[in-house]
């Protein structure tokens, strides 16, 4: 069971629908806590790589929160055009091939990868992406990964459902995702890959990072007024997985 076709992110219809999707759940339980943690660790006077930036939704949020500079890269030419359109001060964008970042070694204080690795077909390709990000981070640089939580596959949330209820997905299996887009009657269907928490940890460590630490953010961790915007399922089942890891401060350090 499950999906059999990949999402075509270079299709303008697909990218338009994805940009139009109401991501308030992702914002409350994913982006806002991630950006707050980044600011807590590093402050705002930093340069951040947004790998798989899409239409710059997260880039914009980081800039609005006080991050000084963000460089976004994405495989989709259509997404990059959408990201460039507003002319965001402090941001620059570039289209890339998978596993490539057009920047020098040790260029960034931090990097984020939001809902990207679930779109990667193989562990080898994920590993190549993580190693390239490791290359462009400064010593001590921070990595933040945000993705669907593989432990709650099949749970129906207000705006989306990742995977079919009752189905057990093998590592790397395609998984149907339905998104509710405001003003669009039919659900927007995309397909991603199922990767276990153990796989995320394994690949991040193999890329040379210390850690990672794993967080499944629950509604209890956010403000009461924000919790009121969440459904019962979003309050009881953490829909997202966040991992944080760090590049060694010096070449002499070796990740365990």
pLDDT in tens, 160-196: 999 999 999 999 999 999 998 988 888 899 899 999 9
Q: Where are the beta strands (DSSP E) in 149-239?
A: 160-162, 174-179, 188-193, 210-215
Number of C-beta neighbours around residue 193 at 10 A: 23
pLDDT at 2: 37
Residue 142, CA atoms < 13 Å, CB-side half-sphere? 20
Mean pLDDT, residues 12-29: 85
Take residue 96 and report the two structure tokens written for it. Answer: 């890339």
Task: Report the distance separating Cα 92 and Cα 38, nearest Å.
Answer: 20
Determine phi and psi for 5, rounding to 5 degrees: -130, 145
Task: Report the distance separating Cα 183 and Cα 195, nearest Å.
Answer: 31
The closest alpha carbon to 230, from 30, 64, 37, 57, belongs to 30
Task: Report the distance separating Cα 248 and Cα 139, nearest Å.
Answer: 6
Q: Is pLDDT of 9 > 60?
A: yes
Q: Is pLDDT of 225 > 70?
A: no
């Amino acid at each position: 069971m499950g999906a059999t076709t990949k999402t075509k992110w270079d299709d303008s219809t697909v990218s338009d629908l994805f940009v139009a999707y109401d991501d308030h759940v992702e914002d409350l339980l994913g982006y806002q806590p991630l950006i707050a943690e980044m600011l807590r660790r590093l402050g705002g006077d930093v340069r951040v790589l947004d790998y798989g930036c899409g239409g710059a939704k997260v880039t914009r949020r980081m800039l609005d929160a006080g991050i000084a500079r963000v460089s976004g890269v994405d495989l989709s030419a259509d997404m990059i055009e959408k990201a460039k359109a507003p002319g965001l001060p402090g941001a620059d964008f570039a289209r890339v091939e998978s596993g490539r970042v057009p920047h020098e070694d040790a260029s960034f204080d931090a990097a984020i990868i939001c809902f990207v690795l679930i779109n990667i077909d193989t562990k080898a390709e994920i590993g190549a992406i993580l190693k390239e990000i490791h290359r462009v981070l400064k010593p001590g640089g921070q990595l933040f990964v945000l993705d669907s939580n593989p432990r709650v596959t099949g749970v129906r949330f207000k705006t989306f459902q990742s995977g079919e209820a009752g189905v057990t997905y093998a590592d790397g299996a395609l998984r149907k995702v339905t998104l509710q887009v405001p003003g669009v009657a039919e659900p927007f269907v995309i397909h991603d890959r199922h990767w276990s928490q153990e796989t995320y940890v394994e690949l991040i460590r193999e890329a040379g990072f210390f850690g990672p630490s794993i967080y499944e953010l629950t509604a209890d961790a956010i403000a009461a007024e924000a919790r009121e915007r969440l459904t019962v399922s979003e309050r009881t089942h953490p829909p997202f997985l966040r991992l944080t890891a760090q590049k060694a401060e010096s070449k002499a350090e070796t990740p365990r």
